[in-house]
Structure 1
Amino acid sequence: MRRTARLLAATALAITGAAGLAAPAHGGGTPPVAGTIDITPRTVAPGTHVTATTDACAGRGSADGDASAVGAGRFTLAPSSDEGRAIGQFKVPPSAQPGTYEIVAKCAEGGRQVLGDLVVALGPAHGGAAVHPRGSVKTGVGGALGPDPVQTAAGVTALAVAAAGGTWLLHRRARGDGM
């Protein structure tokens, strides 16, 4: 009975300790998230200019933005006349890879952190025809119709002779003619 009680107590301590380690500590490090950044347009092609807007920086506050996740670096969100919102712009580099990237800003007053997502897509982001990859893949194997039709015909002939010979040998074996 005592052994079971100790085992249960140890398990409970381990679970509560693990839960305490998993909980984020807001005392230092990164500040808690205080709001969101509106990204316009949300889905873009590489090379596009993007506008970031937030109203989480209290009144006419500004913020320092960070778009380095997508390779655009830092940018500033300045106060605007649009109902106390902070607005900034950055350009997605032409070398940006398709994917979803987190854009972060830290309010100048209070140090609150705001987040938003930017989606980089292959091809035009708003309207227009989609860009499809084209070209060949260098695998070292060659195409179905290689550069020389004579070699292709010789290969097909060799395969046909091998298939016919294998079939003939299997037929002889099945009849019992032996080898």
Structure 2
Amino acid sequence: MRRTARLLTGTALAAAAGLVAAPAYGDEGGGGDLKVSPSSVVPGGRATVDTTACGGNGTAAGDASAVGAGAFTLAGTTRDGESAGEFRVPPSAQPGTYEIAATCAVSGRRITGDLVVTLTPPGAQVHPRGSVKTGVGGALGPDPVQTAAGVAALAVAAAGGTWLLHRRARGDGI
């Protein structure tokens, strides 16, 4: 009986400690409430950020230092409860996904959103350039002068072979 009581007491204490030590999920770091548009930007482009998480046309301090753009301000808009701001992605930004954050002025709530930096504009069609690296041939490369020289060498060899075959057929010997 005593052993069972200790086991139950230990389990209850461990459960209570787990509840006390469990992370609190609330307004802090809620994430995902910050809308970044366009979601994909080329270096040197502009991005607009808006949120309704700050409420009542509140202001917020934006942070785009992850992408190298630094701080920006979100201000209340004419739409009810929305705050918006804008920043420029530096031309030196590398492709990748970056976290953009904002902290509401009144509540102190931190919200985040993602920005994708790409080298091609959204919707742009990319055409392949250069030669295909197949591992077969390619000794001359894509140079047109070298290609013409190769074709000329093949033509001379074909003409010479035809002439030799013609002489042999006539019986002149080789």
Q: TM-score, normalised by structure 1?
A: 0.58
Name the CA distance, whole Å, in 2 between partners of 1:85 and 1:46.
27
Q: Report the number of matched residues.
A: 136
- In structure 2, the residue matched to 1:124 is 120
Structure 1 residues 35 and 119: alpha-carbon distance in aligned structure 2, compared to 1, 3 A threshold: closer
Contact 1:34 1:56 in 2 (8 A): no
1:110 aligns with 2:107: yes
- Asked if the contact 2:28–2:110 (Cα under 8 Å) also holds between the matched residues in 1, the reply is yes
Tell whether the 8 Å contact from 2:31 to 2:113 is kept in structure 1 after alignment.
no
Change (3 A) 1:4 1:47: farther
Distance in 2 of aligned mates of 1:131 and 1:39: 28
Q: TM-score, normalised by structure 2?
A: 0.60
Tell me, yes or no, if structure 1 residue 73 matches structure 2 residue 74: no
Structure 1 residues 4 and 38 mapped into 2: Cα distance closer, same or farther (>3 Å)? Answer: same
Which stretch of the first structure deviates more once superposed, 101-110 or 33-42? 33-42
Q: Which residue is 1:40 aligned to? A: 37
Q: In the alignment, residue 111 of structure 2 is paired with which amino acid?
A: V
Aligned counterparts of 1:115 and 1:44: Cα–Cα separation in 2: 17
Unmatched 5+ stretches in structure 1: 135-143, 146-179
What is aligned with 2:9? 9
Question: What is the aligned-residue RMSD (CA, Å)?
Answer: 3.5
Q: CA deviation at 1:51?
A: 0.4
Which ranges in structure 2 are unaligned for 5 or more consecutive residues? 131-135, 138-174
**Distance in 2, Cα, partners of 1:110 & 1:63:** 10
Identity across matched positions, percent: 49
Q: 1:25, 1:55 → 2: CA distance?
A: 19
Q: Quick check: which has more Rg, 1 or 2?
A: 2
Cα deviations by residue, 1:92-143 (Å, 9 ceiling, x for unpaired): 233334333222112222323332222233x2141113498x9xxxxxxxxx
Counterpart in the other structure of 2:169 = none
| 107 and 13 in structure 1: CA distance in 2 versus 1, 3 angstrom threshold | same
CA–CA distance in structure 2, aligned partners of residues 103 and 117 of structure 1: 6
- 1:16 match: secondary structure: helix
SS at 2:113 equivalent = strand
Name segments (4+ residues, structure 1) moved above 6 Å. none
Partner of 2:148: none
Shift of 1:35: 7.5
